[in-house]
């Protein structure tokens, strides 16, 4: 499988669009002379970037795959994307604690109990104990890092495998 994107090009799309969003938001009359950078902007741009890149990957393969944003997992819990039967949690900077890693382990159990998969994608996880914990608790087939060569293609392949397992 030849991918449209790789880790570096996904990050480049993200960075280009984050800067464009900040620039365009700063043009709003209400912004005055302040720099537009608010909580949630980076995460939202990252989510939209992944959504966009996945659509382009599927189009290149002449496939249609349903993608839902802020998909309900259980109760009021929402996961960033539902791609086919895979819930994908997206983080620009990885996890902030071991408790957060445990939270995603619970999400995986809930998703698996409903016949779905739970995947985790981050731009980078630089805190080694959290990186190791994610891989150990969620499993190599469920965790993807854009700071690791080949993980973007591995993610796309996994989504295609899950599509074929209907």
Q: Exposed e or buried b for every residue in 125-152, given b needs 16+ CB within 10 A?
A: beeeebbebbbebbeeebbbbbeeeebb
pTM for this entry:
0.92
Task: State residue 29's pLDDT score.
Answer: 85
Split at pLDDT 50, 70, 90, the class of 2 is: confident
Does position 159 have pLDDT exceeding 90, yes or no?
Answer: yes
C-alpha 144/C-alpha 122 separation (Å) is: 6
To the question of domain 7-164 being in CATH 2.40.128.50, the answer is no
Residues 39-63 have pLDDT tens digits of 789 999 999 999 999 999 999 999 9
Contact status, residue 54 vs residue 47, Cβ threshold 8 Å: no
Mean pLDDT of 7-22: 96
Task: State residue 163's pLDDT score.
Answer: 86
Q: Mean pLDDT across the chain, nearest whole number?
A: 91
Task: State residue 166's pLDDT score.
Answer: 55
Q: Report the interhelical angle of 151-164 vs 41-60 (nearest 10°).
A: 60
Contact status, residue 49 vs residue 66, Cβ threshold 8 Å: no
């Amino acid at each position: 499988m030849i991918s449209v994107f790789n880790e570096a090009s996904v990050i480049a799309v993200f960075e280009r669009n984050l800067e464009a969003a900040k620039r365009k938001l700063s043009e709003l009359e209400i912004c005055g002379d302040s720099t537009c950078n608010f909580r949630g902007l980076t995460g939202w741009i990252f989510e939209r970037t992944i959504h966009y890149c996945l659509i382009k990957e599927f189009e290149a393969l002449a496939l249609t795959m349903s993608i839902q944003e802020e998909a309900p997992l259980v109760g009021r819990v929402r996961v960033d994307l539902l791609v086919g039967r895979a819930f994908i949690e997206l983080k620009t900077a990885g996890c902030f604690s071991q408790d957060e890693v445990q939270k995603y382990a619970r999400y995986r159990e809930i998703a698996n109990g409903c016949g779905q998969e739970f995947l985790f994608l981050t731009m980078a996880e630089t805190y080694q104990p959290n990186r190791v914990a994610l891989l150990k608790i969620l499993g190599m087939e469920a965790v993807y890092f854009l700071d690791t060569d080949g993980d973007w293609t591995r993610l796309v392949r996994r989504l295609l495998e899950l599509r074929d397992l209907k």
